[in-house]
């Protein structure tokens, strides 16, 4: 009789663990990306900066897209972008870069930035030029806090540094941490 009761208890705990695991897995699968975007202008230049998911999970690949434009009929005319530096939290690892959809090699990088140097003409009233830096979210990211991103560039009409534009990201707590809390570990 004792053996039978032990099996029921173990079976019940196992069923609970499987159900809890299913709930965590189903919850993670149903989550959707939450993109974030900011727009601003500086002189005759316009900027749109978008992060594919501002609440990513560890291990996820996110993209940071910056579109450079010129105001139609801007008195200063066209601009040639010569250098772009994407600034990111140190817990993100660079994966790749595309300029206007074309894979492009980085010029340099360090733990908190990725830089590309080239020559990209941006004409007034055109759709502009878009640079997409992709990163993998690391296990060492702080969780549930705002992690700032920014960019700076230089071009034929001058340079711009935008440390406060963002958007920021907030890495979600991992599901394994939640399961550990569920079982008291």
Q: Which pLDDT belongs to residue 4?
A: 44
Confidence of residue 83 (pLDDT cuts 50, 70, 90): very high
The domain in which residue 17 lies consists of 2-30
Claim to verify: residue 73 and residue 6 sit in the same structural domain: no
Check: pTM over 0.85? Answer yes or no: no
In a domain, 157, yes or no: yes
> Are residues 41 and 16 part of one domain?
no
Mean pLDDT of 161-172: 95
Q: Kindly state whether residues 112 and 158 are assigned to the same domain.
A: yes
Question: Is residue 40 domain-shared with residue 130, that is, in the same domain?
Answer: yes
The verdict on residue 181 lying in a domain is no
Residue 118 confidence (pLDDT) above 70: yes
48: Cβ–Cβ under 8 A, 6 or more apart, which residues? 37, 38, 39, 65, 66, 67, 69
In a shared domain, residues 89 and 55 = yes
The answer to the question of residue 175 being in a domain is no
The conformational region for residue 158 under phi > 0 = left, psi -120 to 50 = alpha, else beta, is: left
- Nearest-5° angle of CA 97, CA 130, CA 92? 40
d(CA 113, CA 94) in angstroms, rounded, equals 9
> What pLDDT is stored for residue 77 in this prediction?
87
Average pLDDT over residues 87-93: 98
pLDDT band at residue 16, thresholds of 50, 70 and 90?
Answer: very low
Percent pLDDT > 70 in the chain is 76
Round the CA-based radius of gyration of the chain to a whole number and report it: 23
What interhelical angle do 175-182 and 2-30 show, nearest 10? 150
Please report the pLDDT score of residue 180 as a whole number.
Answer: 42
List the CATH number of the domain containing 55: 2.60.40.740
If you average pLDDT over every residue of the chain, what do you get?
83
pLDDT value at 74 more than 80: no
pLDDT higher than threshold 60 for residue 21? no
Domain count, the chain: 2
176 confidence band (pLDDT: 50, 70, 90): low
pLDDT on residue 175: 63
């Amino acid at each position: 009789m004792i053996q039978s009761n032990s099996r029921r208890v173990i079976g019940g705990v196992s069923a609970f663990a499987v159900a809890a695991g299913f709930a965590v897995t189903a919850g993670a699968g149903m989550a959707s990306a939450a993109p974030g975007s900011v727009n601003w202008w500086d002189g005759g230049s316009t900027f749109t900066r978008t992060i594919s998911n501002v609440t990513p999970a560890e291990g996820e690949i996110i993209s940071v897209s910056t579109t450079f434009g010129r105001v139609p009929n801007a008195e200063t005319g066209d601009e040639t972008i010569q250098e772009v530096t994407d600034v990111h939290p140190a817990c993100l690892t660079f994966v790749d870069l595309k300029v206007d959809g074309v894979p492009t090699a980085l010029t340099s990088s360090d733990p908190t930035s990725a830089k590309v140097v080239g020559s990209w003409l941006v004409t007034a009233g055109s759709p502009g030029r878009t640079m997409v830096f992709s990163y993998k979210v690391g296990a060492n990211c702080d969780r549930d806090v705002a992690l700032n991103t920014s960019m700076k560039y230089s071009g034929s009409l001058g340079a711009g540094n935008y440390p406060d534009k963002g958007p920021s990201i907030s890495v979600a707590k991992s599901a394994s941490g939640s399961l550990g809390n569920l079982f008291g570990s």
